Structure 1
Amino acid sequence: MNHQTNRTLDPILEVQKLKKYFPVTGPFGRLGGIKGQVKAVNDVTLKLYEGETYGLVGESGSGKSTTGRTILRLTEPTGGKVLFQDKDIFQASKKEVRRLRKDIQMVFQDPYSSLNPRKRIGKILEEPLIIHTNVSKNERRERVFDILEKVGLGMEHYYRFPHEFSGGQRQRIGLARALVVNPKIVICDEPVSALDVSIQSQVINLLQKLQDDFHLTYLFITHDISVVRHISDRIGVMYLGNIVEEGRNEDIFAKPLHPYTQALFSAVPRTNRGGKRERIVLKGEIPSPLNPPSGCMFHTRCPFALEKCRIEVPQRKEMKQDHYVACHLYE
C-alpha cells in the first residue's frame, strides 16, 4: 500500500452504475437488425480519492479496459454517471469533454500503436500542449524536455522516431505524453503487461515516483495480481462486467471474501517458505457477455453456489469498513 487516503474527503471521481453495451448485428450490419447486446460493463460503481491508486483487476474479458475507456468517453456509455469535480462527464458537450481530458489522461497497453510513426517524439509530446494550453513554442519545448527527464529519458530523445525505442522506453513516452499537461487523474490500462518482467518493475517504480511528484490519482487496470498488490491502495475485483468485491489492499489480500477473488488470489505464489495456500482451480471458461448467466454471474463456475445464486442477483454489502462484497454466502 502506497498512500493513506483521507476518506473524509469527497471523491475526485465517482462512477455510478456505469453500463456499456455493444450491439450485435446480423450479417448485413444494422440493416439486418440488432440480434443482441454484449454487456461489457454492467452496473459498475466505484470512487477514486485524491492521491490514491485504485487497482481494477480481473480476467481478460471482464470489462476492465472498457470501463476505463468509457469513463473517459473514448467509447460512449449506455448508462450511468461519471462525476468529476461534481460535473457529469456523460452530460458534458464535446467541447467540455476536451477540456476535461486535460485533467484525466490515459496510458495505453501498447504505446507503439498510439504513437504516430511519422512524427518525432518531441512533436508527439508537444501536441497535447498545443490542444490544451496557450504556451509559446519555446515554453512547449522546455516543458517537453522537462517531462522527458522526469520519465528517465534525455533531450536527445526529442528528435527520434517511435520505432527507435524499446518497449519500456515507448511506455515512458506514453507516460510523458499523459503527464505533460499536468492531469489530476491518469487511467493506466495494462501499462506493463506487454513488457519484460525486469522492465515492468522499473515502470511500476517510475509510476509511483511520478505519483508523488505530480500528486496524481491512478485508476490502474491489470490482470496481474502481484502488480496490483504492489501498487494499489484499494482494489476492485471485476467479473463479467461487475465489481464483485472491493476493499483496501491489505484487507482483500488478508481475507478475500468472494469465491472468485479467492480463486484469483490463490494463483499468486507465496514468497515465504512457511506460507501455504490451496490452489483453487475454476472449472470452465468465463461466460459470454452476450448471454450472461441469470442471478449471480459467477454461479456457473462457483464451487459454493446455492440455489438462490442461480435466480437472484446478489447485492453489494459492506462486511467491514470499506470492504464490500456481492455474494449470497454472506447474507
Structure 2
Amino acid sequence: MEEAQAAGSVASGNTEEDWHVYEVLCKDIRMDDPGDVDVTTSLRSEIAALQYKRDRLQTDLEEMRSQVRSRDQRCLELQAEAEQLREQSARQGAIVASLKKRVHELEERERAWHAERGRQEMQMQTAIREVRYNEEKVKELEARVRNLEMDLSGEEQKKESARLQLQDFVRRLSIALGADISDYSHVSPETLVHKATELVQETSRLKSKSHNLDDTLRTLEMDLRTCRENLERTIADRESLQRQTASQILEIDRLRQEKESLEMQQRVIERELNELKEKLSLTNRTLGNATGSISQQESMICQLRDELKAKDERIQRLQADNKHTLESLAIILSTPSSKWNPFVKN
C-alpha cells in the first residue's frame, strides 16, 4: 500500500523533490494547507512567471545591450570628436600663440606709437611755444620798428629844427657881429672869423678891465666884511648886555618877591610868637595853680597813707586777736568734757 501511495504521489507530482523545489521557489508564499495545493500547478505558474520575468529580463538585456552598443558607438563618436577637438584645439592653440605674438607685436607697436606720439606732442608743444615766442618777438620787433620809425621821424624833425636853429644862430651871430649879410645861408666863414677875432680882442680888453674892477670890488667886499663883522660883534655884545640886563632885572624881581614873602613870613612868625608867649604865660599860670593843687593833693595823699597805715595796723592787731581767740577755742574744744567746767576757772 505504501508503494501504491508513493506511485500515486509521483503521478500527482507530490514527491519530496517536488516539495523541496516548491519550498525553494515558494518559500516566501504562505499557505494555509500545503497538502491541498497542487505542486505541479504552482510550479507551472511559477515557471510561467519566471519565464515571463526571463523574457522581460532578456528584453531588458537586449535593450541594455542595444543601449550599450549605442553608448559604445556614441563613445567612439565622442572619441573621434574628441580627437577632432584635440586637433582643432592644437590648431587653435597654434593660432592663439600666433595671435598672442601678433597682439604682443601690436602692443609693442602701439607703445612705440604712443611714445612717438608723446614725442611728437612734446615737439608740437615746443614748436607752439617757439611760435608763440616768435610771435611775441615779432610783435616786440614790430613795436621797436614803430618806435624806431617814430624816433627816425623825430630825429628828422630835430635835424630840420637844428638846421633852422643853425641858420637862425648864424643870422643872429651875423647881426651880433655887425655883418651886413643879405643871405644867411651863404655866409663866408672868414667874415665870421674876422668878426669873432675882433670880438675876442674886445672881450679880452673888457675882461682885463673886469679883472681890475673885480680886484677893487674884492677889496671893498673885504672892507665891508670887516665892517659887517665888527657890526655883528657889536650887535652880539649889545644883545648879550641886554640878556644880562634882563636876567638881572628878573633876578631883582625874584629877590623883591622873596623879600616880600620873607617879610610876610616874619610878620606871621611874630604873630605866632606873640600867641605862643600868651599861651606860655597862660600855661605858667595854669601850671602854678596845678602845682598848688598837686601839693594839696600830695598832703592829702600822705594823710590818707597814714590813715591807711593805722587801719592796716588795727586790722593786723584784730587778726592777731582773732587768731589767738580761735587758738584758745580750739584748745578748749580739744580738752575732755570731764575736765572742763565752764564755771570753774583754771
TM-score exceeds 0.5: no
Normalised by the length of structure 2, the TM-score is 0.13
Q: Higher relative contact order by CA 8 Å / sep ≥ 6: 1 or 2?
A: 1
Normalised by the length of structure 1, the TM-score is 0.14
Max Rg structure: 2
Q: Is the helix fraction higher in 1 or 2?
A: 2
